[in-house]
Amino acid sequence: MVKVGIVGGSGYVGRELLRLLYIHPEAEVTYVTSRRFKGRPIHSVHFSLRGYYSGIIFSSYSLDKLASLSDVVFLALPHGESLRHVPELLDVGLKVIDLSADFRLKRSEDYERWYGFTHPYPDLLRKAVYGLPELHRKELKGADLIASPGCNATAAILASIPLVSRFGLANNSLIIDVKVGSSEAGYTPTVGSHHPNREGSIRPYSMRGHRHSAEVSQELGRVVGKDLNVSLTPHAVSSIRGVLATVYMFSGEPLDYRNILRAYVEYFKNQAFVRMINPALPPGFPDPKHVLGSNIAEVSVVYDEATEIIKGFAAIDNLVRGAAGQAVQAMNICLGFDEGAGLNYPPLSPA
């Protein structure tokens, strides 16, 4: 039984980690931190967890306690916060799965552009494994530091990776449209993210470049061996959970749709948590509503012969496949557990 610590357990992602790890047959949560709710029981913040974790309260951060009580630590902290903890956690021999963006990018200069700071640990950037199993399953095995991908990046990469792997991109460019629910903005609301302000609204944000486009460019660029131009525009919609990514790829020459579809089917045929959707059969295309609460990603693809544009689609739950679930899946691969441990259950419906 692996002992698990969660640093930053009071937010939405922390709650999902607690929910998933409670049913994990090989894991036991032993230590959970929260600065805001220190000393309070888990269920006093996460009402859905009443009756669970009765022996654990939120604690302040302590390296000594994490080292003595944990084998693996999940960091569910805001961007920039994990930097203060990852080096010391690794130094005491803990495996670290970071759900912030602090170790996702390989080049320190990219942090200056996208996050506004100079990364102090370029050596750890090189060491960290980007935690998307469909791309890095081999590297995840035994990894000491796993950088869990962003939810928008996860959906965008899954929507496009089979095509990029098989055919490349005609002009090295990718256009991505993402629809996201309000929980993506986190536990503490802002004027723009507060759900009453979002209800009934459909609006774009980060129009000049969303941070997750750096992840997509990096990961797909590594597949094709050259830099890619990625334009990702998210749109806030009134749902609470879910991400739907639509990726537009220019083929530059006529393609046979059967070959495109075959590329997707073959790429994902052995992937435990990707479900291919046939556009010719109901429901037709991926929809976050059909994967809510689960670690499943629904993927589909069509080809517009008139414009020679391939359109890839992926739907995920941003809090599970886009965060906590994918992190647990990465832990399972890292430690040699069954990949679906704690995750093999169907989505909620209706939701």
CB 21 within 8 A of CB 331: no
CA distances (Å), 81 to each of 75, 78, 85, in order? 9, 6, 8
Question: DSSP secondary structure string, 115-148?
Answer: TSS--S-HHHHHHPEE--HHHHHHHHTT-SEEEP
Region of 168 on the Ramachandran plot (φ > 0 left; ψ -120 to 50 alpha; else beta): left
Residue 13 tokens read as 């992602």
151 part of the active site: yes
Q: Kindly give, in sequence order, each residue whose CB lies less than 8 Å from that of residue 73, ignoring residues fewer than 6 positions away.
A: 4, 5, 6, 7, 66, 89, 94, 95, 96, 97
Write down the catalytic residue from 151, 236, 276, 341: 151
Residue 346 tokens read as 């169907």
Q: How far apart are the first and last CA of the chain?
A: 33
**Backbone torsions φ then ψ of 26, nearest 5 degrees:** -115, 5
Spatial distance between the Cα atoms of 197 and 201, rounded to a whole number of angstroms: 8
Residue 342 tokens read as 């704690």
* Alpha helices for the chain (secondary structure H): 12-22, 63-69, 86-91, 108-114, 122-127, 133-140, 151-167, 195-198, 212-224, 257-268, 325-335
Spatial distance between the Cα atoms of 312 and 275, rounded to a whole number of angstroms: 13
Which pairs count as long-range contacts for 108-115, CB under 8 Å and 24+ apart, including other chains?
A: 110/214, 110/218, 113/214, 114/209, 114/211, 114/214, 115/79, 115/80, 115/211
Residue 10 tokens read as 């009071």
Question: Which residues are marked as active site?
Answer: 151
